[in-house]
Amino acid sequence: MDSILIVTISGPDRAGLVEKLASVIAGHSGNWEHARMVHLADRFVGLLQIRVDGAQQQDLEAGLRTISGLDVMLAATQGDPEVVPAPERGLRLELLGSDHPGIVRDIFAVLARAGVNVEELHTSTEAAPDSGGMLFRAKARLSPQGELDYEALQQDLSAIAMDLMVDLKLSE
């Protein structure tokens, strides 16, 4: 039976790191299925989903841990990952405003109270073109869990966006 490995990696960024990961995975008959990787603060970090025959799992795990300078965390499941049906109603959130602590906490608290699940989230900071300050930007793909009062959610998000002094757009 196949095993599904969810692998979290972090290490100093360097050329050839993805190739080394791919070589170890392929060398243990693993299949690289899904990944998200990015450079953050002088480190290369990533999440990978790998499918491997159960008989090869331990050897693959050991092989991943031998990659020099790479921190590896693993979680394993057996068989096929749960297939979650696509939500009937997906939402998109876009946010832009002056960067300050608490933006993510406050916005996502409103979403959690409304029963909205975060499917994907991308955030970044960048220099503001005129003020020299920093801007915070977020984009999220969301899915309601159960019935959603879209108008009430929109009102709650608008109120918190005003308090945080950010521009926020929620769309279906």
What is the DSSP-derived secondary structure letter of residue 168? E
pLDDT tens across 72-113, in order? Answer: 999 998 766 555 555 556 999 999 999 999 999 999 999 999
Domain boundary among 78, 112, 136: 78
Among residues 54, 78, 102, the one where a domain terminates is: 78
User: What pLDDT, on the 0 to 100 scale, is given for residue 79?
Assistant: 66
Confidence of residue 40 (pLDDT cuts 50, 70, 90): very high
Cβ–Cβ < 8 Å for 164, 82: no
Residues in Cβ contact with 10 at an 8 Å cutoff, skipping those fewer than 6 apart: 43, 44, 45, 46, 70, 71
User: How high is the pLDDT of residue 123?
Assistant: 95
pLDDT digits (tens, 9 = 90+) for 114-131: 999 999 999 999 999 888
| Same domain, yes or no: 98 and 167 | yes
Domain that holds residue 60: 2-78
Look over the chain and give the mean of its residue pLDDT values, rounded to a whole number: 92
pLDDT value, residue 102: 95
Q: Give the CATH number of the domain where residue 11 resides.
A: 3.30.70.260
Answer yes or no: are the C-beta atoms of 153 and 117 closer than 8 Å.
Answer: no
Residue 140 inside a domain? The answer is yes
Whether residue 131 is contained in a domain is answered as yes
